[in-house]
Amino acid sequence: MASSKNSRPKRRQDGAGRRAVNSARPAGGSPASTGADVAGITTELEAIVAQAGLYLEGVKVGRAGKRKVVKVVVDLPEGPGGVDSDTLTEVSRAISQRLDDVDLVAGAYTLEVSTPGAQRELTELRHFSRAQGRLVELRLADGSELVARLMELSGDTLKLRTNDGERPIGLGDVVSARVRVEFGKDEG
């Protein structure tokens, strides 16, 4: 997972990025306890993130001890690959500036901007689309587990390549899925 930090000591303490869960709800307390409006922050950041050619995966506001933390997760909107560090740095600065301008987070806070990480849970159609060509771990409704290469997403059907050949699986039959990291494979 890539992360970026931006130094703006005026209002916030910055920290290294950590993986954030795709959530529109604050972690570690209610909006009142964190002094932040997550829905408002999300609305303010969507256009900024889109301008950078990225997708706003999630915003989470919570606490790490006594510190308030605003976690923003961004990703490419589609296709293979990942967010490069220059783009992540630029969008982090733009997010930081926007949060300072609109003042939706009361008091000092740490801003963490990151990508979802290599082993993200696949929970949306977009996630499966982005994982095409990757090795995935699936838990199916019948209780079985499967490791296969996701070759194609066609409508609501995954076309998988297993050791036994190609196998279609309906998305409705998938209980959980995640990308499996492959070491030594050129992601090219």
Question: Band of the pLDDT at 10, cuts 50, 70, 90?
Answer: very low
What is the overall mean pLDDT for the chain? Answer: 81
Please state the pTM of the whole predicted model: 0.70
Q: In order of start, what are the domains of the chain with their CATH numbers? A: 3-114 (3.30.300.70), 125-179 (2.30.30.100)
- State the pLDDT confidence band at 17, using cuts at 50, 70 and 90: very low
DSSP 130-179: HTTTSEEEEEETTS-EEEEEEEEEETTEEEEEETTEEEEEEGGGEEEEEE
Q: Label residue 35 by pLDDT band (50, 70, 90).
A: low
